[in-house]
Amino acid sequence: MSISIDKLDQKTQNSRVALFIDANSARDFQTILKAYEYAQNYGRIVYASLYAEEKDLALIGTMSSELSKKGIDIKVAIGPNEISIALDAMEFAYEKKADCIVICTRRESLVPVFKEIKKLDIKTILLTPMSIPAGLSDIADETHIL
């Protein structure tokens, strides 16, 4: 589903969107691009990053230049990347750097992050490749399968 920018209402066009992509969930270039394109439906992307772990460096290396061209940063975590996603998403929420936070993941460990962001009255969007894990089904304002 793609919505052209002229069909978006004025409020949506002015919305600031932060996109956090879990490389453990979005394992291929096409899924990452779908997440980016889907996030654009919610406003202007002010931040987009792919979070990977050291074990994913070979996979990420093959697509890093293409991701960079799209404006998607790559962050490599020493340990589990969901910790970095959680910290960065909470920073964007608490500091009101975004009106909408989009997280592409299948990790149920991020449930507390969604709950906290929603308390701050910031729109939350969950994107998942394949299917939605049971623990994530009702946690975001909107949930979409890529």
What are 54's two structure tokens? 């050291």
Q: Could you tell me the pTM of the whole model?
A: 0.89
Cα–Cα distance list, 79 to 47, 57, 70, 84, 140 (Å): 22, 13, 26, 9, 25
What confidence category does residue 5 fall into, taking pLDDT thresholds of 50, 70 and 90? very low
**pLDDT over threshold 80, residue 9:** no
Return d(Cα 73, Cα 120) in angstroms, integer: 25
* CATH fit for domain 21-145, picks 3.40.50.300, 3.40.50.1010, 2.40.50.100, 3.30.70.330: 3.40.50.1010
> Among 33, 35, 15, 18, which Cα is nearest to 105's?
35
The H helix count followed by the E strand count for the chain is: 6, 6
Q: How many CB atoms lie within 10 A of CB 110?
A: 23
Segments making up each domain of the chain, as ranges: 21-145
**pLDDT over threshold 90, residue 88:** yes
